[in-house]
């Protein structure tokens, strides 16, 4: 529950390869959501092809928004504000969502709320999951681990919209490391789910890959790990040995999970938080979820799988808190956000 004013927010997300819309009531209740994924379009390129992504967003954006309103059985008069991803993301993709949001805001005379994509991921833990009969949102102060394709960060949140960035990756993001290592060991895009599946049959102790501890701070680094996998792969090739793909995947995954988990728990203790939030595409990883759920020191919030990767419900949820706190943007808002947004 929240003591803020009630409101229904329509969220729009188009920062990468998903075109999505969703309607959230009071920052928590998901009334409807639709996602058009482009994964199959980009698979043959081994990653997201930006121009193809923008064009597909143009085709999908209005049908997805209309479908969402219909699913919720709502008319525009019953929507209080439009929230839209400002970035970070692919510029050409962001512009499609932003222009759709601006057009609707202008035509329907609705307030426009720009949401940082990373903030959106964090707020996915404030959405009541479909299957939950009991749901309590995270209690501040919160330690938020954000692990996506482009970012890996630890943020201390002392209240809504209040972020103190304690640390971030010095090189590759966790998701990026999954994607690059998947390619190295011959697994398809997107790398995270491919590695997770391959790792099921593998031995996580088969290879002793490094964990960059970076003592004395809260930053992360994954490039050394990626290079260690590359070196191992080259050695296996030189020895003409068949790739133990499952073992490589499991050992790599174990090293990433260990680095993320260990630092987050240490930061949570150091800063005396009440609860932990884990968010972003990599939070879909079952080994990472198991590590956090297996400890008893802190209550941990990780969204259901369908809200870990990109979606618009998270944008609508964060948009609600922005709207309810009076953060409304003008129609000339850009798609070049700073983080955290003020």
Minimum CB–partner distance for residue 194 and ligand KG4 (Å): 8
CA–CA dist 117, 280 (Å, integer): 10
Backbone torsion region of residue 110, taken as left when φ is above 0, otherwise alpha when ψ lies between -120 and 50, otherwise beta: beta
Q: Least Å distance between CB 50 and ligand KG4? A: 14
Site for ligand KG4 (CB under 6 A): which residue of 149, 303, 319, 337? 149
**What's the closest the beta carbon of residue 94 comes to ligand KG4, in angstroms?**
12
**Which of ligand KG4, Zn ion, none interacts with 163 (beta carbon under 5 to 8 A by kind)?**
none
Contacts to ligand KG4 from residues 59-88, by CB under 6 A: none
Question: Do the beta carbons of residue 146 and residue 303 sit within 8 Å?
Answer: no
Residue 202 binds ligand KG4 (CB under 6 A): no
Cα gap 317→81, rounded to integer Å: 12
DSSP code per residue over 116-137: EHHHHHHHGGGSPPTT-SS---
- Exposed/middle/buried for residue 28 (C-beta within 10 Å: 0-12, 13-18, 19+): middle
User: Which tokens hold the place of 125?
Assistant: 């833990």
Give which of Zn ion, ligand KG4, none residue 175 binds (C-beta under 5 to 8 Å, depending on kind).
ligand KG4
Where b means 16+ CB within 10 Å and e means fewer, 317-334 reads bbbbbbbbeebebeeebe
Residue ranges in contact with Zn ion by CB under 5 A: 148, 310
Out of 11, 87, 114, 191, which residue is the one contacting ligand KG4 (CB under 6 A)?
A: 191
> Is 178 a residue that touches ligand KG4 (CB under 6 A)?
yes
Q: How far is the CB of 83 from ligand KG4 (least distance, A)?
A: 16
Only one of the segments 63-71, 105-113, 123-131, 176-184 lies at the binding site for ligand KG4 (rule: CB under 6 A); that segment is 176-184
């Amino acid at each position: 529950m929240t003591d803020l004013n009630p409101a229904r927010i329509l969220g729009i997300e188009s920062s990468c390869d998903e075109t999505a819309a969703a309607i959230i009531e009071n920052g928590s209740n998901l009334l409807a959501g639709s996602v058009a994924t482009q994964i199959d379009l980009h698979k043959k390129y081994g990653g997201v092809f930006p121009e193809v992504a923008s064009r597909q967003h143009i085709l999908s954006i209005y049908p997805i928004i209309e479908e969402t309103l219909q699913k919720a059985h709502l008319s525009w008069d019953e929507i209080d504000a439009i929230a839209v991803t400002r970035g970070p993301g692919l510029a050409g993709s962001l512009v499609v969502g932003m222009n759709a949001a601006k057009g609707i805001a202008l035509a329907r005379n609705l307030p426009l709320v720009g949401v940082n994509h990373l903030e959106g991921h964090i707020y996915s833990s404030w959405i009541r999951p479909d299957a939950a009969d009991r749901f309590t949102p995270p209690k501040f102060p919160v330690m938020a681990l954000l692990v996506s394709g482009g970012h890996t960060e630890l943020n201390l949140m002392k209240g809504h919209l209040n972020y103190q960035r304690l640390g971030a990756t010095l090189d590759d993001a966790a998701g990026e490391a999954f994607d690059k290592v998947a390619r190295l060991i011959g697994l398809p895009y997107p790398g995270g789910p491919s590695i997770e599946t391959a790792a099921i049959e593998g031995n996580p102790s088969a290879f002793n890959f490094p964990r960059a501890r970076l003592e004395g701070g809260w930053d992360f680094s994954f490039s050394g790990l990626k290079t260690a996998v590359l070196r191992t792969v080259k050695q296996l090739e030189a020895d003409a040995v068949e790739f133990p793909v499952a073992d490589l995947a499991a050992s790599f995954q174990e090293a990433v999970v260990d680095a993320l988990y260990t630092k987050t728990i240490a930061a949570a203790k150091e800063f005396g938080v009440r609860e932990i939030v884990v968010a972003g595409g990599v939070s879909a990883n079952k080994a990472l979820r198991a590590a956090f759920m297996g400890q008893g020191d802190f209550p941990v919030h990780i969204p259901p799988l369908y809200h870990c990767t990109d979606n618009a419900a998270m944008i609508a949820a964060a948009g609600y808190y922005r709207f309810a706190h009076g953060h409304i943007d003008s129609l000339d808002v850009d798609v070049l956000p700073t983080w955290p947004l003020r």
